[in-house]
Amino acid sequence: MNRLIRRNLANFFLFFAVAAVLSFFASFLAFPYLSSLFALEQVFLLIAALAALILLVLAIFWMFLSNRLSSSEDTALEVAPQVTKPEPITTADDTLRKFQHIVKSLNRDFDMPKILQAVLQTAVDYTEVDRCALFLLDAQKQNLGPVMHKGRGTDFSQAQFPLNQSPFQEVVDSKQILCIIDTGALEKFAHPQDFGKKGLLAVPLLAENEVIGVLACDNDHSGRALPHNDFMFLEMLAEQAAIALHNSRLYTKLDHYNSRLQMDVDKATHDIQKLLRQKSEFLKIASHQLRTPMAIARGNLSLLVEEPKLTTVERQQFIRSAYEGMNRLERVIHRLLYATEVDGGFLALNIKSVNIYDFIHRSANAFLPLAGDRGLKLKVRYFGPVTTVRTDPDRLYEALGHVIENAVHYTESGSVHVTAQVSLGQVIIHVRDTGIGVDAEQLPLVFTKFYRSENVWGMYPNGSGLGLYIAQQIMQALGGTITAASDGLGRGSEFVLTLPRT
């Protein structure tokens, strides 16, 4: 203020001197002319009036120019604090005003690292400290680790240090702010990167009345005294940092839960879609598999009832055809019930000792008539010594029977080979055919319930799509495996069943 008054006075005398000089020259120039028109006394009066007029005009101009310069300087003084470091907080009103601004800024952002950096930057900007750092407790509350820091000094490493060897133990225990200015008291503690060796101000981060970390400040770089008048501001800042950290952890848990829930929903949606496809396949197959044999049986029986003049041979043919239709219907119903039993986990096992050599021949020989009707050769070979296995013979017969039956049905010409051997404590059964084969893209689907590839419908329309599925479930229940392989369409297929001996 004094500087402004001195500057204005100097400007005033400068303008006065300029006005006096101008008045002198004006009087000198006008005197000869005026003396010829007026008396000497009147000339002096006119000259004095002229000088006063000049002084008045210059004074008005000086006042206008001074006001413009003062306004420009005031504006510059108002703008200057916005581009420099904020002044330290000196009053409670300043604390509340600036803290409200900080809280609004934090609430506009959800990026946790960015929020924490803003908290630390605020602590450095609005207080008289050199450095601020955030230390977080681990899950066991035994170690502290620096998250990030702001201010002058060396950078922190990310290594944790024991809580009981640090000056923060008292902060965690008391849940109160701690200020240590006695360097002797600080020498016994471990200081990460020499933080707080000359003086330490630590504020607990409280979330749900539990300490989750510490906001620490020091002035080791400048050597200034720690600012006691900033305690309230730092406590409020630490409270906001704790809330931000706690919310971040809750958000992370919620995000993890939402991700897991989304995965469960996706899985459930996939399962539902799979069930809907299976339902569609089931209705498609069941409508054909159940209706066809029933129609055959009904048609033949109706002829027996409605045609009394049939010969004995014709009656026998119709009865045999109806009987075959009912047997076929029984097989379809049996497979549907068997698949339901497998799905429900109700597959009871009756484990016995089975001679694998006799079992393989008996299983394959059951399909000799079917292979003969189709003009195929069904060959059985056994390698190695005759041995026994502990298994359920009925369930194994069911599984192997489905595989051999499929091989016979889907082979137009050639042969079906069934071989068995004992190796490394396992019984390995191969069923190889020269049939239609399986496309590489459809090979992983052959064990899917109700699945039938497009190229099999015309060759064997009476399949249920359950045989290989049932075989796989039985082999898994017996502790074995079943796999499928094919070189492609028209190149045959090979199914391998493995079974432990014990």
For the stretch 179-194, pLDDT in tens is 877 656 666 565 555 6
φ, ψ of residue 110 in degrees (nearest 5): -115, 5
Measured distance CA(316)–CA(191) in Å, rounded = 103
So where are the chain's domains? 2-82, 105-249, 352-500
Asked if the model's pLDDT at residue 496 lies above 80, the reply is yes
Q: Give the residue with greater pLDDT, 51 vs 375.
A: 375
Task: Report helix, strand and coil shares of the chain as percent, to nearest 5.
Answer: 55, 15, 25
The pLDDT assigned to 93 comes to 62
Average pLDDT over residues 227-235: 77
Concatenated DSSP letters of 172-189: HHH-S-EEE--HHHHTTS
Q: How far is CA 335 from the centre of its chain?
A: 43
Concatenated DSSP letters of 62-128: HHHHHHHHHHHHHHHHHHGGGGSPPPPP-SHHHHHHHHHHHHHHHHT---HHHHHHHHHHHHHHHSS
Measured distance CA(281)–CA(449) in Å, rounded = 9
Tell me whether residue 232 is exposed, middle or buried, using C-beta atoms within 10 angstroms of its C-beta: 0 to 12, 13 to 18, 19 or more. Answer: middle
The pLDDT assigned to 263 comes to 92
Average pLDDT over residues 57-73: 59
Q: Which homologous superfamily is 105-249 in? A: GAF domain (3.30.450.40)
Asked if the model's pLDDT at residue 322 lies above 60, the reply is yes
Give the pLDDT band of residue 12 (cuts 50, 70, 90). low
Measured distance CA(442)–CA(270) in Å, rounded = 19
Average pLDDT over residues 295-301: 80
φ, ψ of residue 299 in degrees (nearest 5): -60, -45
- Contact by Cβ (8 Å): 358, 380: no
Q: How far is CA 456 from the centre of its chain?
A: 43
Give the pLDDT band of residue 309 (cuts 50, 70, 90). confident
The pLDDT assigned to 81 comes to 36
Residues contacting 441, CB < 8 A, separation 6+: none
The pLDDT assigned to 89 comes to 46
Specify the range with the lowest mean pLDDT, choosing from 71-85, 304-318, 372-386, 476-490.
71-85
Region of 137 (left: φ > 0; alpha: ψ -120 to 50; beta: rest) is: beta
**pLDDT 10s digits, 407-437:** 998 888 899 999 999 888 889 999 999 988 8
* Biggest CA-to-CA distance, the chain: 173
Measured distance CA(258)–CA(114) in Å, rounded = 24
Q: Quick one: tokens of 454?
A: 């497009």
Instruction: State the DSSP H helix or E strand holding residue 293, giving kind and residue range, or none if neither.
Output: helix 231-306
Tell me whether residue 439 is exposed, middle or buried, using C-beta atoms within 10 angstroms of its C-beta: 0 to 12, 13 to 18, 19 or more. Answer: middle
Asked if the model's pLDDT at residue 82 lies above 50, the reply is no
Q: Dihedral of the CA atoms 33, 36, 40, 44 (nearest 10)?
A: -20
Average pLDDT over residues 272-298: 73
Measured distance CA(475)–CA(389) in Å, rounded = 14
Q: Give the residue with greater pLDDT, 15 vs 349.
A: 349
Query: What is the Cβ-side half-sphere exposure of residue 161, based on CA atoms within 13 angstroms?
Result: 19
Residues contacting 140, CB < 8 A, separation 6+: none
Q: Give the residue with greater pLDDT, 478 vs 82.
A: 478
Give the pLDDT band of residue 264 (cuts 50, 70, 90). very high
The pLDDT assigned to 80 comes to 34
**pLDDT 10s digits, 14-59:** 666 666 666 666 666 666 665 666 666 665 666 666 666 666 666 6
Specify the range with the lowest mean pLDDT, choosing from 168-172, 306-310, 325-329.
325-329
Q: Which homologous superfamily is 352-500 in? A: Histidine kinase-like ATPase, C-terminal domain (3.30.565.10)
Measured distance CA(305)–CA(297) in Å, rounded = 12
Residues of the chain with pLDDT > 70, as a percent, come to: 66
Residues contacting 239, CB < 8 A, separation 6+: 205, 206
The pLDDT assigned to 483 comes to 94
φ, ψ of residue 226 in degrees (nearest 5): -70, 140
For 215, 238, 261, 369, the CA distances from 241, given in Å and listed in that order, are: 9, 5, 30, 83
